[in-house]
């Protein structure tokens, strides 16, 4: 029967040549293993980031998933940038799929204004990132970017709810400390006198909080898409 064939068999008569296949895939497999061993800390450190992108992409598509995680990252980098500016030690952002992300900041007994600016920096950076999505969405008539802008404004505004573990809770705690705690006058490193609480500073903190929240509400209002236009 072989004399009448006008083609070569797909497999050799002896079956699958596993040795040849093994030699073909050995090099790339070995290269991947070497990279995983050498740069394993990268995969471990950013595993949450990759998982978050994948999780949100499964729900809303890869473009929205990537953009959503980037907006969360920008928010956390805002906290980190302000803390770094103040000379504090900051960890890399840690992502938790479907929950969000956080950075840890090594500090003890920060004055109210410094604590408040670190807490507000996240929503400020996050709102700026959302505004960029809004501008690009208008420029390219992109529904995905408009959706990201609205979602970003909403999430950053949600973070300003005055609950303890959210940014808003931290800001209002700082305002409360400025309102009731005395100001300590130092000479060198020695505390010399307890002065009245700086309540003007408490008003400044609350004013900054209200201003950031108002801008985020404005961004949500501008990027909201009425139901009949969907």
Q: 216 lies in a domain?
A: yes
Instruction: Answer yes or no: is 213 within a domain.
Output: yes
Residue 145 zone, left/alpha/beta (φ > 0; ψ -120 to 50; rest): alpha
- Is residue 194 domain-resident? yes
pLDDT of 43 reads 43
Least confident of 8-22, 163-177, 199-213: 8-22
What does the pLDDT read at residue 51?
56
pLDDT tens column, 13-42: 555 555 665 555 555 555 545 544 444 444
Nearest to 202 by CA among 229, 159, 170, 172: 172
At residue 128, the pLDDT reads 97
Which tens digit of pLDDT belongs to each residue from 112-128?
999 999 999 999 999 99
| Number of domains present in the structure of the chain | 1
Owning domain of residue 171: 8-229
**Domain annotation covers residue 89:** yes
Residue 136, exposed/middle/buried by CB under 10 A (0-12, 13-18, 19+)?
middle
Predicted confidence band of residue 64 (pLDDT cuts 50, 70, 90): confident
pLDDT of residue 102: 63
In this predicted structure, the answer to whether residue 167 has a pLDDT above a threshold of 80 is yes
C-beta of residue 122 within 8 angstroms of C-beta of residue 167: yes
60 within domain boundaries: yes
Query: Taking residues 99-105, what's their average pLDDT?
Result: 68
Residue 3 lies in a domain: no
In a domain, 94, yes or no: yes
Q: What pLDDT sits at residue 156?
A: 93
Between CA 183 and CA 34 the distance in angstroms is: 57
More confident residue, 129 or 46: 129
Is residue 80's pLDDT more than 50?
Answer: yes
pLDDT at 3 over 90: no
In the beta sheet, which residues pair with residue 191? Answer: 186
Q: Look at residue 41 in the predicted model and tell me its pLDDT.
A: 42
Q: Which residues pair with 90 in a beta bridge?
A: 105
Instruction: State the average pLDDT over residues 76-85.
Output: 92
205 in any annotated domain:
yes
């Amino acid at each position: 029967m072989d004399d009448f064939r006008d083609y070569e068999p797909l497999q050799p008569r002896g079956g699958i040549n596993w040795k040849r296949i093994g030699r073909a895939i050995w090099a790339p497999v070995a290269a991947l293993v070497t990279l995983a061993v050498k740069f394993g800390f990268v995969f471990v450190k950013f595993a949450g980031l990759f998982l978050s992108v994948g999780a949100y992409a499964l729900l809303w598509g890869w473009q929205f998933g990537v953009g959503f995680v980037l907006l969360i990252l920008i928010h956390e980098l805002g906290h980190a940038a302000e803390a770094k500016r103040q000379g504090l030690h900051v960890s890399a952002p840690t992502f938790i799929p479907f929950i969000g992300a956080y950075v840890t900041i090594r500090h003890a007994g920060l004055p109210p204004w410094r604590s408040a600016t670190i807490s507000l920096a996240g929503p400020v950076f996050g709102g700026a990132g959302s505004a960029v999505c809004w501008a690009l969405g208008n420029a390219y008539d992109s529904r995905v970017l408009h959706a990201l802008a609205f979602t970003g404004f909403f999430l950053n505004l949600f973070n300003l709810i005055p609950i303890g573990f959210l940014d808003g809770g931290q800001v209002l705690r700082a305002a409360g400390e400025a309102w009731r705690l005395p100001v300590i006058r130092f000479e060198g490193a020695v505390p010399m006198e307890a002065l009245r609480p700086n309540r003007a500073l408490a008003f400044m903190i609350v004013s900054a909080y209200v201003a950031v929240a108002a801008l985020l509400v404005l961004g949500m209002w501008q990027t909201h898409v009425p139901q009949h236009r969907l």
